[in-house]
Amino acid sequence: MQTTFGAWMPDAAHLEEDRYWLLEHFSGRVIAEYPNISSYPKNSVKITDLKKFYQGCGHVIYNGSLYFHNGGTNKLLKYNLETRRTSTLIIENTRFRNRSYVFLNSKTYFKFALDENGLWVIAASDTDDTLVVVKLNHEPFSVTSIIDTGYPKTKAGNGFIAYGILYITDSKDKKITYAFDLEKGISLVVSCALRSANGILAMLTYYPQKQVLYMWDNRSVKMCKVNFTFLKKEWQFL
């Protein structure tokens, strides 16, 4: 890839399709659509101006809409890629400017996540700088619940959600070192190597239909298959 930061993604509701979307850098207002990932960078099908600036690398596409953070604000936007209509959701009491990122390595204030239970967003509390997780409805675009994990954002590199459990990497994004059960409200013991390389991991997103992690790692896009086992009431990576 041409940039250190960015995000690439399929439509999480239609993983059977070959189409991919690309948002380069951690700030911009353009999204590019490609017939498949191998066609990058020459054969984009469509370039769309979002009319609003995104911030960070924590975007997702679900059921034809791009979900992203409107830079400089505490607003989350749902942008329909066909109709180009936008829905707005304000998330109060969270960090959204002055470089108080929830995930510093990817310059992200709001990290969208998808799992078997639906759509979430990970943010940082503006009172104590701990990670909060917001459960979202996609239709209508609204907040279902807010969960404070109590985990300091300064220890977090990146994160994703799978089976209702938040997984957080260390500050160098080399290991998964923390997990939090969002249903039970308890921390879990977890330790799992994620990558050996140094450099910037800009994107880390889980796609439940195929149990795959999508990554933007050191200017390369990668997919990583994840296998889960349920043992002694704890999820572990194999």
What is this structure's pTM? 0.93
Rounded distance between C-alpha atoms, residue 167 and residue 190, angstroms: 9
**47 close to 41: Cβ distance less than 8 angstroms:** no
| pLDDT band at residue 198 using 50, 70 and 90 as cut-offs | confident
Count Cβ neighbours within 10 Å for each residue of 107-130 and write b for 16 or more, e otherwise: bbbbbbbbbeebbbbbbbbeeeeb
Give 146-168 pLDDT, tens digit per residue.
999 999 999 999 999 999 999 99
The topology under which CATH files domain 6-237 is Neuraminidase (2.120.10)
Lowest mean pLDDT across 38-42, 74-78, 160-164, 204-208: 38-42
Rounded distance between C-alpha atoms, residue 183 and residue 230, angstroms: 16
Rounded distance between C-alpha atoms, residue 44 and residue 27, angstroms: 20
For residue 106, pLDDT over 70 is answered with yes
Domain ranges of the chain: 6-237
Give the model's pLDDT for residue 232.
36
CA dihedral 83, 84, 85, 88 (to 10 degrees): 140
